[in-house]
Amino acid sequence: MTVDRVQKGATYGEPTPTGVSVAVGWVVMVGVALLAAAMFPPAELPPRAVLMAVAAGAYAALVADLRAVAAVTALATATFVGFLAHRFGELTGGGHAWSYAAVIALAAALGTGYRHMRSIGSPGDGNL
């Protein structure tokens, strides 16, 4: 939304700023991390990683800004490693937790690909 000084009103249709998209995505990822922590015990890393990966993929499928998708995917990976795999936000330690980063990144890439494929065939763009 931008303010037009001549009309003294707001115009819609402008893309969402990257910072807003990252903030919304970050809130979503923190909520999913809390949900994963409540649903699965600390020893069960695969289900926690799958839940974070599904959220990252869904976010990537909904948001067109690739910078926001990359930032939120990185934050989701750091949240998984720091709080769901290790304790107290520790990003160092055993490498087994970082191996799940590929699953989260793959889900985000698939979500981005899905969004791109959906935008190619959308009616009204002349690509049908």
pLDDT in tens, 102-114: 999 999 999 999 9
- What is d(CA 17, CA 103) in angstroms, rounded to the nearest whole number? 27
Question: Which of 29, 33, 28, 49 has the alpha carbon at shortest distance from 83?
Answer: 33
pTM score: 0.80
Following CA atoms 11, 15, 19, 24 in sequence, which dihedral angle do they give, to the nearest 10 degrees? 100
Note whether 19 and 63 are within 8 A (CB). Answer: no
Q: Give per-residue pLDDT as tens, 52-103.
A: 999 999 999 999 999 999 999 999 999 999 999 987 778 876 678 888 999 9
Residues β-bridged to residue 11: 2
Whole-angstrom distance, CA of residue 52 vs CA of residue 28: 10
